Structure 1
Amino acid sequence: MFVTELRFECFADTTITAAEKAINHYLESLRANGQILGREFAVAFNEGEFKVRLLMPEKTSLATRHNSPWTKQALQQLTDAKLLAPREKYIGQDINSEVSNTEQPSWQVLYTSYVHMCSPIRSGDNLLPIPLYQLPATFNGDHKRVIRWQTEWQACDELQMAAATKAEFAALEEITSHQSDLFRRGWDIRGGVEYLTKIPTYYYLYRVGGENLASEKNRACPRCGSKAWRLDEPLLDMFHFRCEPCRIVSNISWDHQ
């Protein structure tokens, strides 16, 4: 991933309130399309201009060819707020994050965790994130539905990792059960991505708990009951199960690895 700085200059008299609203609207449109990553963006005002540093999946993430209809409309709102189109200054590569996938994958997986800010659509060949704007729009011209699901999954993951409150059990149910609301929405997103890209796309079903290693190895697909989903060798050293009809991948319980 890469770090860049955007600078917004005024071309006529305006107000901090108008500029703030237009800039934040623009940044949110980029986030909804996967062009920038993260949830909070510190916008600084100094010497007549606004500056913000952003994390991007690729060097070219802010290229106009990637812009969604919302972003195009947000650019016009910048003009209405008496701001010039943003000027970009490349800072460098982020040393603490993953690189993005660059090759056409043979399969894909919807996978995230509370420590990841990158795209939750990953190549099944190498588990590298696929920038969302490289995919056809999944909802109303961009990918806000995917990002909303990711935010909810990460919130549940953080709760269960903390293991400090009763909320842990409800959160764990959401990310481990094929009957949860989070699974249902994610599995639908997975299906939409597969339909649009024509690439087999799977849902990662998190697994923890279980009685012992033997029972874990013999557990069935929770959705269809098939035991034929266990793999001889784990995919990417992580996925020990893959159900083709249900489009689900999963792991042997982290408690027994």
Structure 2
Amino acid sequence: MYVIELRFECFDNTTISIAEKAINNYLEALRANGQVLGREFAVAFNEGEFRCRLLVPEKSSLSHRHNSPWVKYALEGLTEAKILAPREKFIGQDINSETSTTEIPSWQLLYTSYVHMCSPLRSGDTLQPIPLYQIPATFNGDHKQVIRWQTEWQACDEIQMAAATKAEFASANEIGDADSDLCRRGWGIRGRIEYLTKIPTYYYLYRVGGISLKDEMNRPCPRCGSHDWKLDEPLLDMFHFRCEKCRIVSNISWDFL
């Protein structure tokens, strides 16, 4: 991933509140389309212009060819707020993040965690993130629903990893139970992406707990009950189970790894 600075310059009289609303709307539109990553964006006003540094999946993430209808509308909103189209300044590659894949994968999966800011859509060949704007819009012109699911999954993951309150168990259930609201919604998003991309797309089902390693090795697919989903060798050194029919990948409980 890369760091880019955007500079917004006013071309006529306006107010900070009007400019702030237009800039934030533009940034949120970019986020909903997967063109920028993260949840919060610091916007500073200095020397007559607004500046903001963003984390993006690729150097070309902010190219107009990737813009969703909302991003295009937000750009018009900047003009109405008397702000010129943003100027980009490339800062460099982020040393603490992953590099997006440039290859079309043979299969892909929805996988995230609370420490990842990148796209939740991953290449099944390398586990590298796939920028969401590189695939057709999933719902209503962009990928807001995918980003929203990712945010909720990460929130549950952080709570259960902290293991400090009773909410730990409810959170672990949401990301580890195939029948939970969060998992069912994510699995549905997975199906939508597979339909749009024509690439086999799997859902990562988190697994923790369990009685014993022996029971873990013999646990069935939680959707169809098949025992044939246990792999001889783990995929990407991480996934020990894969059900072709149900499009689910999972791990042996982290308690036994």
TM range (shorter): over 0.9
Q: How does 1:103-252 map to 2 (within 5 A)?
A: 103-252=103-252
Who is 2:24 aligned against? 24
> Quick one: distance in 1 between partners of 2:19 and 2:172?
41
User: Once the 2 structures are TM-superposed, how far is the Cα of residue 212 of structure 1 from its aligned partner?
Assistant: 1.1
> Quick one: distance in 2 between partners of 1:102 and 1:215?
39
> Quick one: distance in 1 between partners of 2:166 and 2:194?
36
User: Once the 2 structures are TM-superposed, how far is the Cα of residue 214 of structure 1 from its aligned partner?
Assistant: 1.0
User: Once the 2 structures are TM-superposed, how far is the Cα of residue 77 of structure 1 from its aligned partner?
Assistant: 0.3
> Quick one: distance in 2 between partners of 1:235 and 1:47?
52
CA offsets 1:13-65 (integer angstroms, 9 cap, x no match): 00000000000000000000000000000000011100000000000000000
CA offsets 1:101-158 (integer angstroms, 9 cap, x no match): 1101000000000000000000000000000000100011000000000000000000
Who is 2:57 aligned against? 57
| TM-score (structure 2 length as normaliser) | 1.00
Who is 1:83 aligned against? 83
> Quick one: distance in 1 between partners of 2:213 and 2:168?
23
> Quick one: distance in 2 between partners of 1:104 and 1:74?
30
SS at match of 2:91: strand
Who is 2:68 aligned against? 68
> Quick one: distance in 1 between partners of 2:168 and 2:209?
13
What root-mean-square deviation, in Å, do the aligned CA atoms of Structure 1 and Structure 2 show? 0.4
> Quick one: distance in 2 between partners of 1:43 and 1:178?
40
What letter is aligned with 1:240?
H
The count of corresponding residues between Structure 1 and Structure 2 is: 257
Q: Could you tell me which runs of 5 or more consecutive residues in structure 2 were left unpaired when the two chains were aligned.
A: none
CA offsets 1:188-216 (integer angstroms, 9 cap, x no match): 00000000000000000000011111111
SS at match of 2:148: helix
> Quick one: distance in 2 between partners of 1:174 and 1:191?
19
Who is 1:102 aligned against? 102
Q: Which runs of 4+ in 1 moved over 2 A?
A: none
Q: Could you tell me which runs of 5 or more consecutive residues in structure 1 were left unpaired when the two chains were aligned.
A: none
> Quick one: distance in 2 between partners of 1:216 and 1:187?
22
> Quick one: distance in 1 between partners of 2:101 and 2:210?
34
> Quick one: distance in 2 between partners of 1:19 and 1:199?
41
Q: How many percent of aligned residue pairs carry the same amino acid?
A: 79
